[in-house]
Amino acid sequence: MKLGLTLLLFSAGSAAERIAVPLGLDTFLPVPDGNPYTEAKAARGRELFFEKELSRDRSVSCATCHDPKLSFTDTKPLAVGVFGRVGERRVPTLINRAYGKSFFWDGRVATLEEQVLKPILAEKEMDLTLEEAVQRLRAVGKYGAITVEDMSQALATYVRTILSGDSAYDRYVADGRSGLTKPQIEGLRIFRGKGNCISCHVGPNLTDERFHNTGIAWRGGKLSDKGRGGGAFKTPTLRDIARRAPYMHDGSLATLDAVVEHYDHGGIFNASLDPELRPLGLSQEEKLALKEFLNSLNGRSQP
């Protein structure tokens, strides 16, 4: 067993299958009864994740936008799909989505099994019908007589294995001594106190999985994207945050410094602004400490 890992067992047929859960994450990793975890299914899902046959022009796979080297996202402000078509929102990270309660920035989908099929269908992403996708996979040969359900369950199973934890922050929480530098400890104090970050970025995955209006969707007094409603978007996990620029649902904040400034100002005012947001009055030293703490959330994620 590698340092910093616990092993969570799932019953799959007559054999116990294992998935490694990094230090700091909830050791209860939800798996639906209708799609039990198996290593073989996860391996098949990983193959499909990198399969460009699933896109109309065969130029895009899931991994094109959700690059494992970039914490399963990319560096573009907005998603770019087949034929260079540009979407309306930033590519969200896939790390720790096994713990998700809903999916996409607006939470419009309730399960991973449904979520993994949506990009294949989306005109500005992969732009294939599910029937075409299955026909292409069968023609490849190695996928056999694969079905839409097989594809959905395998991709969802692979996504559940994309976990990031065992960060410097997790090691500090585990023993209270090692892991964080003095500036990072000060940043954690601000995160929990004056910064009020913990009101939304809470729990092992540092997200409440709820929807908040922080003003990002409001520009010049106008709503550019209604999100869940009134410009509310899901709280993203802060894990690996320093590796995932640019930020927000529209990729409009290029750096962590810009994110800290946005919240220090209390967001962008609008009638539906989340009541938790208010000007913080952080000093320059406090802003730097908070940024240092955010850097400590980089974990060890699956390649």
Q: What is the mean pLDDT of residues 30-36?
A: 95
Residue 13 lies in a domain: no
- Whether the predicted pLDDT of 15 surpasses 80: no
pLDDT (mean) for 143-154: 98
Look up the domain containing 117 and give its range. Answer: 31-160
What count of Cα atoms within 13 Å lies in the side-chain half-sphere of residue 288?
A: 6
Domain boundary among 96, 130, 160: 160
**Quick one: 222 and 155 in the same domain?**
no
Q: Are residues 211 and 131 in the same domain?
A: no
The dihedral formed by the CA atoms of 21, 154, 62 and 99, expressed in degrees to the nearest 10: -40
245 and 207 share one domain:
yes
Are 286 and 180 in a shared domain? yes
DSSP bridge partners of 227: 232
221-234 pLDDT, tens digit per residue, is: 899 999 999 999 99
pLDDT band for 6, please (50, 70, 90 cuts): very low
Taking 90 as the threshold, does the pLDDT of residue 265 lie above it?
yes
**215 token code pair:** 């003003």
Task: Confirm whether 23 is domain-assigned.
Answer: no
Whether residue 151 is found in the same domain as residue 176: no
Q: Of 9-13, 26-30, 285-289, which range is least confident?
A: 9-13
How far is the C-alpha of 162 from the C-alpha of 12, rounded, in Å? 19
53 — pLDDT class (breaks 50, 70, 90): very high
Q: Which helix (H) or strand (E) holds 173?
A: helix 168-175
- Residues 194, 280 contacting (CB under 8 angstroms): yes
What pLDDT score was predicted for residue 148? Answer: 98
pLDDT reading at 156 higher than 90:
yes
pLDDT at position 14 over 80: no
| Domain total of the chain | 2
Any idea which of 4-13, 73-82, 156-165 has the lowest mean pLDDT?
4-13
Q: pLDDT tens across 101-128, in order?
A: 999 999 999 999 999 999 999 999 999 9
pLDDT of 261 reads 98
Q: Quote the pLDDT of residue 11.
A: 34
